[in-house]
Chains A and B, each alone.
Chain A
Amino acid sequence: QVQLVESGGGVVQPGRSLRLSCAASGFTFSSDGMHWVRQAPGKGLEWVALISNSGSYTLHADSVKGRFAFSRDNSRNMAYLQMNSLRVEDTAVYYCAKDKGGHWALDYWGQGTLVTVSS
């Protein structure tokens, strides 16, 4: 069965960096794009980015442009979110989710990892 497990969250000071990881199993990882979605405490879902199946391109929200970078290692079934210049408003649970190819939907989600940006 499809399983996505995020890791790397924690408490970080404003302006610092953090890298999140997403370990995938149960499907052909190299065939599907991977999304990142975040949810601030008590708030709704916010789409962050999609990295294509090959990693050749990414699409991302304006709110993270120039600060966040996205990558994947298909040999290790891993996706990564590098967060730089973190702001208090980046505090959220970050989910990785598998793209449902050809349908522009997110069909499997990880359990999320909490990132808290605070001084």
Chain B
Amino acid sequence: QSVLTQPASVSGSPGQSITVSCTGTSSDVGGYNYVSWYQQHPGKAPKLMIYDVSDRPSGVSNRFSGSKSGNTASLTISGLQAEDEADYYCSSYTTSSTWVFGGGTKLTVL
């Protein structure tokens, strides 16, 4: 299974906005509106932040938003806070009836 392509790292200052990209193919990201994003703090389990490209689960801050254009999905975090520092993973359902994750992006809040 292919791995979705994410930048290894992004950074931003408190209060700023950052965007994490996630590039796949027409067999995954581009083929379905089933892109999800997960936040993982060191030593902790992943947490669902965005599903169906842009929907937020109950309890997730509206500072987190998602979008998609073609084969690339994006996660935007606005009003960066120290607690946002974590690894972020995108995921997509695929035409092979499997799920695929991105390689992960480490967010550093400066």
Contact = CB atoms under 8 A, between A and B. Distances in A.
Interface of A: 35, 37, 44-47, 50, 59-63, 95, 97, 100, 103-112
B97 A107 contact: no
Given A46-B101, A47-B99, A100 B45 contact: no
A108 B45 CA distance: 9
Contacts of A107: 48, 51, 57
A47 B91 contact: yes
Nearest to A99: B99
Contact of A105 (B44, B45, B52, B97): B52
Name A's interface SS: strand
Nearest to B37: A105
B99 to A, nearest CB: 4
A-B pairs with the 6 shortest C-beta distances?
A105-B51, A104-B34, A105-B36, A104-B93, A47-B99, A109-B45
A26 to B, nearest CB: 15
A106 B55 CA distance: 13
Interface in B13-64: 32, 34, 36, 38, 40, 44-48, 51-52, 55, 57
